[in-house]
Structure 1
Amino acid sequence: MFNHLLVPTDGSALSEAAVRMAVSLAKENSARITGLYMVRPFHMTVYSAEMVGASQDEAHAADQARARQYLENLRSIAAQAGVACDTEAPTGAHPYEAILDTAKARHCDLIVMASHGHGGIRGLLLGSETQKVLTHSHLPILVVRPPE
């Protein structure tokens, strides 16, 4: 039914549950997966160029290290199940755009992602990347929610 699943991750336990669900679904369908972690650009109000240098480099390096860690975990889960997997770690300000762009570029036919279920004011203020993907995607999306 599905041939190529896109699986965004943020490294959380719920995100790992989505990875495991995607890997299981991919195995059942003889599909492959692409894992995605978006490296965010560094934003900070500064008073001089010297203030940015080390902080920006350190922040970017730390986020790239997280990307490697989270995507290696995803590759490991896929490998244990015998599912073909590749990964991407683009840089951008809006994760939902990276998710949709990657799904289109990689010709994915399903997006499997977690939703942390932030509602109320917190959800309104933080925004939900999952909600943005749901709103803008033309692909089917499997949303993994936290247990109640």
Structure 2
Amino acid sequence: MTQQYQHILVPVDGSKEAELAFKKAVAVAKRNGADTELRLLHVVDTRAFQNISSFDSSMVEQVTTTAKKTLDQYVDYAKKQGVANVSYTIEYGAPKTIIAREVPKEMHADLIMIGATGLNAVERILIGSVTEFVTRTAICDVLVVRTDLDNQPIPVPKKR
């Protein structure tokens, strides 16, 4: 018997790696049938705004508006590919726990498909990789997307 995932969560942050995870998740959802739920998740990391002295709520609104535009495009793409049960959620807070525990529990996720990294090397050193945290602590299976749509390694940008 083969495993068929019915509730797939895809965290997206605007990075190329997250977009590849999304496109691969669309293919998995199509293969697993019409009942498969595909949920996209964008987490606005509110901690990023805490240290800004001139913080104003319009900054969060701008980030949310941009995320909604991207997520609407992703939903449209998935539907055109034949995935009927696709939706998105925008959450606010600490991405690690929201992605690994909170949303998967709420939606009964059985698979998280996540890009290998959406951060640069300095950010990974300072705050740690969300992907690494999710793979260690998630309450369901995690598939880390490390290849492009042709299953070729994603080129690493060269240092200048």
Superposed counterparts of 1:1-148, under 5 Å: 1-30=4-33, 31-41=36-46, 42-46=49-53, 51-52=54-55, 56-83=56-83, 84-92=85-93, 94-99=94-99, 100-116=101-117, 123-145=124-146, 147-148=154-155
Letter in 2 for 1:91: Y
Give me the whole-angstrom Cα distance separating, in 2, the residues matched to 1:37 and 1:134.
17
Letter in 2 for 1:44: N
Aligned length: 140
Of the structure 1 ranges 104-113 and 36-45, higher mean CA displacement relative to structure 2 is found in 36-45
Give me the whole-angstrom Cα distance separating, in 2, the residues matched to 1:141 and 1:14.
15
Q: Which runs of 4+ in 1 moved over 6 A?
A: 117-121
Deviation at 1:43, TM superposition (A): 1.3
Give me the whole-angstrom Cα distance separating, in 2, the residues matched to 1:17 and 1:105.
24
Deviation at 1:45, TM superposition (A): 4.9
SS where residue 67 of structure 1 aligns? Answer: helix
More helix, by proportion: 1
Letter in 1 for 2:50: H
In the TM superposition, what whole-angstrom CA distance separates every residue of 1:76-104 from its partner, at most 9, and x where no partner exists? Answer: 12111121101100111x11211121011
Q: Which runs of 5 or more structure 2 residues have no equivalent in the other structure?
A: 148-153, 156-160
Deviation at 1:117, TM superposition (A): 7.9
Report if aligned partners of 1:9, 1:19 keep a CA contact under 8 Å in 2. yes
State the TM-score, normalizing by the size of structure 1. Answer: 0.85
Report if aligned partners of 1:40, 1:63 keep a CA contact under 8 Å in 2. no
Deviation at 1:58, TM superposition (A): 2.3
Give me the whole-angstrom Cα distance separating, in 2, the residues matched to 1:108 and 1:127.
24
SS where residue 89 of structure 1 aligns? Answer: strand
State the TM-score, normalizing by the size of structure 2. Answer: 0.79
CA 58–102 in structure 1, closer or farther in 2 if over 3 Å, else same: same
Report if aligned partners of 2:38, 2:86 keep a CA contact under 8 Å in 1. yes
CA RMSD of aligned residues (A): 2.0
**Fraction of identical pairs, as percent:** 29
